[in-house]
Structure formats: C-alpha cells, structure tokens
Structure 1
Amino acid sequence: MAYLLIGEAAMVVHFLFLVFMAVGGFLAWRWPRLIGAHLAVAAWGVFSVTTGAECPLTVVEDWGRRKAGERGLVPGGFIDHYIEGVVYPERHADLARLAVAVLVAVSWAGCLLLARRRRARTGRPGHGGAGSPPPVARG
C-alpha cells in the first residue's frame, strides 16, 4: 500500500510540475517571486527534452508502482504513459512542445513588461508607488 501511495504521489507531483512548467510564468505576473522557480523548471524541461534525461519523478513513480506489484510506466516514461496519445496524438509531440515553449515565452515577456511598469511606477521594485503615502519620519 505504501509503495502504491508513493507512485501515486509522484504522478500527482509530476502533473503539477508539468502544469507549472507551462503556466508558471503567468503565475509570476501576480506573484513575481515565482519567476526564479519557473526559470529552473523551464530549464529542466529544456534539458530533459534535448538530452533525453529521465526525470527523477518518473523514476520514483515507476519504482513505487513496481514495488506495489503493478505494471511500471511504459519505456518512454511519464510523458509517453500519460500525455502522448492521451492528451494529444503522439505524432503531434513536437507541436505540443512548441506550444508550451510559446506559452513560456509569452509569460516571460509579460513578466518583463510588468516588472518594467512596476519599476516605472514605483521608482524601484516593491516600494512605494503612485498613491502611496510618503514615509513617516520617526525620531
């Protein structure tokens, strides 16, 4: 039972990771501090796609499922098992990757524009701004 729980938890975290990879830059529009985490996740995505590196979450899920007596993930891993052929046809894998890359690029462009607006409005990020009361001198 515990092994199955580990496999299921790894699967859920993996899905959340992929969603964050696709739309995390848009979340950073609201919460700018997320951009660093999104940069790291996107870098991992590029690295894994270009090198074929296996994701540690795939390894954990496969291990948990096999230890629980289930069939492990297909040889292609998480994406081949849950995404390709399920969410989109396998023959459109490159188009799906391109769509995610475009989403990420648009989100980052939006982050850059919003950061510039914040700096122009406040003079420096995260401080004061139009309509903010002047600092109170205390003595």
Structure 2
Amino acid sequence: MTDSPTLTPTGVLPHRVLAVAAMATHVAFTVVAVLGGYLAWFVPWVLWLHLPALAWGLAGQVRDLPCPLTTLENSARVRGGWSRLSETGFIDHYYTGVLYPQAWKPWMPFVVLGIVLVSWIGLLFRF
C-alpha cells in the first residue's frame, strides 16, 4: 500500500508530547511573569507565583542563564524527530515576529518592564 500515510517510529510520541508540554509550561510561565501583577489584582495569591517568575525573567535578561524549560523542550524535540528551537531560544522562536515585529526586539524588555510596573502601581492602589 503506497497510499498509506507514513507512521512515526515507536517511542517518538512521548517525546513530542513532552516537547509540547514544555512549550505550554513556558507560555504559562511567561504569562505569569509579565501579566501576573494584573492577575493579582483579582486573585492576590498569584503574586507569589509572579514574583519568582519575574525574578527569573529579570535574571535571564541581566545574565546569560540557560533556561531549564528551553533545554527540556530542545531535548524532547530532538528525540521526537523535530528540529530544535532557534539558537536564541524560546522567546525568539515563538514570540518574536509573531506577537511583535522583529524590529521591536531591542525594545521589548523595556515594554515588558513598563507593563509590569503599571501592574505593580495598580496593586499599590488596590490594597
């Protein structure tokens, strides 16, 4: 039967599921890091997730820290038969050129900082 679709090798699916799970976790992490202050306006305990996520994100901007989620996703993608993320990592692979234009990349850390600061100002007036 030459018309049948090509099946993926056995053992590939769990790695692909892990890669997608790592990507979804990474998206959730970035949402909490950037928008967690706003979420805390309505659900105050989210602030306890937002602060460490923001600290890690800030540390990654200041220093060249390897992200464990990116490492996990790359490993799972390769074992699942997919290509690795772009060399510059998760943000560039999934967000740059999708959520904002490539030309905005140098300014995005400042935009994110502004978004976070406004959420914190709102928190100060809310409590």
TM-score of the pair, normalised by structure 2: 0.84
Indicate yes or no: 2:64 matched with 1:52.
yes
Number of corresponding residues: 115
| CA RMSD, 1 decimal | 1.2
User: Structure 2: which amino acid aligns with 1:4?
Assistant: R
- Answer whether contact 1:73 1:81 (CA < 8 A) is retained: yes
Determine the C-alpha separation between the residues in 1 that align with 2:81 and 2:56. 30
Q: Which residue of 2 aligns with 1:77?
A: 89
User: Structure 1: which amino acid aligns with 2:100?
Assistant: Y
Determine the C-alpha separation between the residues in 2 that align with 1:52 and 1:92. 20
Identity %, equivalent residues: 37
- Give the greater-gyration-radius structure (CA): 1
CA shift for structure 1 position 70: 1.1
- Where does structure 1 lack aligned partners over 5 or more consecutive residues? 116-139
TM-score of the pair, normalised by structure 1: 0.77
- Where does structure 2 lack aligned partners over 5 or more consecutive residues? 1-12
- Which gives a bigger RCO, structure 1 or 2 (Cα 8 Å, sep 6+)? 2
CA shift for structure 1 position 45: 0.7
Q: Which residue of 2 aligns with 1:104?
A: 116
